[in-house]
Amino acid sequence: MNTQEIFETMDYGPAPESSAEALAWLAERGGIAGHFINGAWGPVRDDFPSNNPATGEKLAGVTKGTPEEVAKAVAAARKAQPKWAKDSHQRARILYAIARLMQKHSRLLATMESLDNGKPIRESRDIDVPLAIRHFYYHAGLAQLVDSEMPGFAPMGVCGQIIPWNFPLLMLAWKIAPALAAGNTVVLKPAEYTSLSAMVFAEICQEAGVPPGVLNIITGDGETGAALVDADVDKIAFTGSTAVGRRIREQTAGSGKSLTLELGGKSPYIVFEDADIDSAIEGLVDAIWFNQGQVCCAGSRLLVQEGIAEDFHERLKARMANLRIGDPMDKCIDVGAIVDPVQHAAITKMVSETEGEVYQAPGTLPEGGCFYPPTLITGLSSAAPLMQEEIFGPVLVSTTFRTPGEAVEIANNTRYGLAATLWTENLNLALDIAPKLAAGVVWVNATNLFDAAAPFGGVRESGYGREGGWEGLSAYLQPSAKLTEAKPLSVPAAPDTPKTDGLDRTAKMYIGGKQARPDGGYSRAHYDKSGTLLGHTGLGNRKDIRNAVEAAAGAKGWSKTSGHLRAQILYYMAENLSARATEFGDRIRALTNTSASKASAEVEATIRTLFTYAAFADKYDGAAKGVPIRGIALAMREPIGTIGVLAPDDAPLLGSVTLLAAALSMGNRVVLAPSEAAPLAATDLYQVLETSDVPAGVVNIVTGLHKDLAPTLASHGNLDALWSFSPHADKAALEQASAGNLKRTWVNHGGNPNWATLDPKTALAHATETKTIWVPYGE
């Protein structure tokens, strides 16, 4: 078109970003992406191609890492780790240097990212790369402060990290920055579709003075990733699909490897009738058409209040018609290419099978590339597969609601829990709804806001662990306190001729605030060393666990009580325990065959512990994070929900009560399997619980053999976490079973802590999950 014609049509025209520099960079390095191990490149092989999804053309060859190559990288990381962990200020300097260098090479990083991934250059340039840089700046600061601010913690060692293809550089930054800041060394595997920006990053690290072995990159596919999971690493951090996350959980079960997972989502995007509708629609552009919808936290499930739904959908369709789809390297493009034909086919298939009404933005798609039009599907019910399944493409599904309560109910009707967005001009409504949403991140009147200072991560099957902030750093630290191998307590055996005082003392189960007979109808006897019968406890089975979890699930109110109230109840427990200290001391002595002074010390320690967690109930606060917007990002500490606890044998009273108190103080409900060897120490607590006003269902106690109880707890779909310090439970089996609903686990790999000196913040961190609520403001 000549100028005159353009003057009349007022079209945008092409605004291409040059790919020459990025292509030349690749060519200069032989056009192959490969390993960066111990500060050096190689080996590199052209095992499979990395294509430009916008054109289908090959950009580079990629080396598929073998288990031997992974092992080599892990060995290099292992060797480099002790020295790297020594000087946190030196780490801060190097992370700062990385940030500065990334800034200097920002255009190369951005173009490489868009070529490789297909995302619009605007997004790489204005979002991905700046956020990645910010991550290194922020974590340079954390490295500087970690020693003084996190005493009692040590790095984990070598971290294996596996990242997805949707934000190759940004996810790399989210993984590497905290790991290195905390003093770990890293072996990172980029996604097979998108290895190229990691190559640029590795060079930046060389330039920044990262010592050899501290950062290693292994390219490859899923098999390479599996080899990394199996390798001699101390931690696996994974971002990707829920299916693969679950496999990794199963694969690492029993290994003692720490694990954080950032997985899929079907995040609700709730629009109340008093919202600024135009802004909410513009928000949707950033929610579901950002990065072609290939975003784990994409607002993919639109919930509109019924009264405005028709108008909203009409306006939304008009907005969709203005989205520009095409060459990602064009600066005037909103929606680029889907990363790979495999993904494109998956999206196409899912949409083709829907019973909903499909609207696709008008216009023709560019030829030759992997393009999919922005899509809106209306008229779906909650039961429709597309309301439940993650599509991971530019496809929005929509439904309506009538009341705020119903909005929450629909929003939470999902296996996932990554993010949620809500739009309302009513602050009361916003701050009422945000805490009720099952999500790790909530955006109020905004969407897809990210920052290094704000924790990000999910609940439910969206995974566990946080990235960003001190919370994210904690995922790369472990308590440095010594652990002791968890051993079964040796208790007096049944005598040939038991002595009894003729009074029956059978402790039943404690479920829903009532004592309940064991479902199976079996009990076992407990004796002291003189052969005197101390009492019987029930042998719990899967149905007892089922009943206990049901009771706990029903006691939802506890999670909404104030910290003050929970503190009062825990103090009350301490008070009542104190009143019966002698009796509990005698019981411990009889059960464990220990000295009177040791037994009484355990009771005293238990009372002290109850005081500690009572004190923390209203003091383990959240934080307002220093994010670079006009607004607040509130990191709220929320209870996990219902926690199953397999108590230790060592310190049968103190161990159980410590775990119980930590869980209760933060508002969790508990199903406790007390010390297998000495359960009477816990069953004696029934009266304490009852007299201390602990509401029914908040604490449920099921006695029995842990080998019987653990599998049911571990696989229970309505249990949110499982803590095991039992010497009788099969750690591998329970971690494997926990993969079913991806419940959080806290398991005694490496042994049990000293219960009397356990840092309460360790337990409290396991008893809570951080929800980050972003509230931009301004009138």
Partner 1 sequence: MTDTLHHATTTTATDQLPQVHLPRNTGMELDLDWVASVQANTSAIERRAATLPGRRSVKKSYQAAWLAKAITLIDLTTLAGDDTEGRVRRLCAKARQPVRADLLDALGLPPLTTGAVCVYHDMIEVAVEALEGTNIPVAAVSTGFPAGLSPFELRVKEIEMSVAAGADEIDIVISRRHVLTGNWQALYDEMKTFREACGEAHVKAILATGELGTLRNVAKASLVCMMAGADFIKTSTGKESVNATLPVSLTMIRAIRAFEARTGYKVGYKPAGGISKAKDALVYLSLMKEELGNRWLQPDLFRFGASSLLGDIERQLEHHVTGAYSAGWRHPMA
**Residues lying near partner 1 in the complex (CB under 8 A):** 1-4, 6-15, 122, 125-126, 274-280, 282-283, 322, 331-332, 334, 423, 425, 445-446, 629-631, 776-779
For 715, how many CA atoms within 13 A lie in the half-sphere containing its CB? 9
Give me the least distance between CB of 447 and partner 1, in Å please: 9
Q: How far is CA 543 from CA 645, 696, 712, in A?
A: 17, 19, 9
Residues 6+ positions from 104 with CB-CB distance below 8 Å:
none
Residues 6+ positions from 224 with CB-CB distance below 8 Å:
64, 65, 66, 70, 189, 218
Q: Are strands 642-646 and 669-673 parallel, antiparallel or unpaired?
A: parallel
Considering only CA atoms, give the Rg of the chain.
28
Q: How far is CA 232 from CA 74, 76, 181, in A?
A: 7, 11, 21
Peptide bond into 151 cis (omega under 30): no
**Which residues are the active-site residues?**
262, 296
- What residue has token string 């030759």? 368
Backbone angles phi, psi at 494, to 5 degrees: -65, 130
Q: With both helix axes pointing from N to C terminus, report the angle between 168-181 and 106-117 in degrees, rounded to the nearest 10.
A: 130
DSSP string, 280-321: HHHHHHHHHSGGGG--TT-EEEEEEEHHHHHHHHHHHHHHHH
For partner 1, give the closer residue by CB, 13 or 42.
Answer: 13
Calpha distance 465→472 (Å, rounded): 7
For partner 1, give the closer residue by CB, 1 or 345.
Answer: 1
For partner 1, give the closer residue by CB, 28 or 779.
Answer: 779
Q: Are strands 631-639 and 768-776 parallel, antiparallel or unpaired?
A: antiparallel
Backbone angles phi, psi at 630, to 5 degrees: -85, 100
Calpha distance 753→759 (Å, rounded): 9
Give me the least distance between CB of 4 and partner 1, in Å please: 5
Calpha distance 273→425 (Å, rounded): 9
Calpha distance 343→350 (Å, rounded): 11
Calpha distance 439→420 (Å, rounded): 6
Q: Output the CA angle 680-686-691, nearest 5 degrees.
A: 145
For partner 1, give the closer residue by CB, 279 or 687.
Answer: 279
- Amino acid letter at 78? R
Terminal-to-terminal C-alpha distance of the chain: 44
